[in-house]
Amino acid sequence: MNKIIPIGADHAGYELKEAIKKVFERKGYQFKDFGTNSKDSIDYPDYAHPVANYIEDHPDTLGIVICGSGNGINMTVNKHQGVRSALCWTVEISELARQHNDANIIALPARFVSQDLAVEMVEKFFTTSFEGGRHANRVNKIACN
């Protein structure tokens, strides 16, 4: 996995985005931060699309998106053909998203998970590999084209 991680969040996810970056920068990861850079109200698609574009241009990269519920930003990035984003709220779901779905973006619901849980989920997401096998055929059927 590329150690440059694209990340984007809306105003509700800003603080969680900053906390995640701080933890993982200490572990040697670098971030391509697409914003937002404050808690001022913004539109999440403005920060989701650049993360999704980055993933499409760098297919061996994993990304992170964050908004209040995780839903809106997850829906936005999943409009991109090269993206398989998973909305996660437990460590097990983040692990299964990688193992079974080859997810390349983790979407986090900032208003519903603690910083510690978010860090655990991202860690599991980053360190889990796609199992392939029977799951590969299913993943290959996701794209609409």
- Check whether 132 has a pLDDT greater than 80: no
Residue 67 in tokens:
């908004």
- Three-state SS for 144? coil
The long-range contacts involving 20-24, CB below 8 angstroms and separated by at least 24 positions, are 20/64, 20/66, 20/115, 20/118, 20/119, 20/122, 23/119, 24/122
What pLDDT sits at residue 139? 76
Nearby residues of 97 by Cβ (< 8 Å), 6 or more positions away: 86, 88, 103, 106, 125
CATH superfamily, region 4-140: Sugar-phosphate isomerase, RpiB/LacA/LacB (3.40.1400.10)
Given the residues 49, 58, 80, 100, the one annotated as active site: 100
Beta pairing partners, 32: 6
Q: Tens digits of per-residue pLDDT, 64-99?
A: 999 999 999 999 999 999 999 999 999 999 999 999
**Terminal C-alpha separation, the chain:** 26
Beta pairing partners, 107: 65, 87
pTM beyond 0.75: the answer is: yes
100 flagged as catalytic: yes
What pLDDT sits at residue 124? 98
What pLDDT sits at residue 145? 65
Residue 82 in tokens:
């090269």
**Residue 14: which pLDDT band, with cuts at 50, 70 and 90?**
very high
Neighbour count for residue 12 (Cβ, 10 Å): 22
**Residue 133: which pLDDT band, with cuts at 50, 70 and 90?**
confident
Q: Where are the domains of the chain?
A: 4-140
Helix-helix angle 14-25:115-127, to 10 degrees: 50
Strands in the chain per DSSP E:
4-9, 30-33, 63-67, 85-87, 105-109
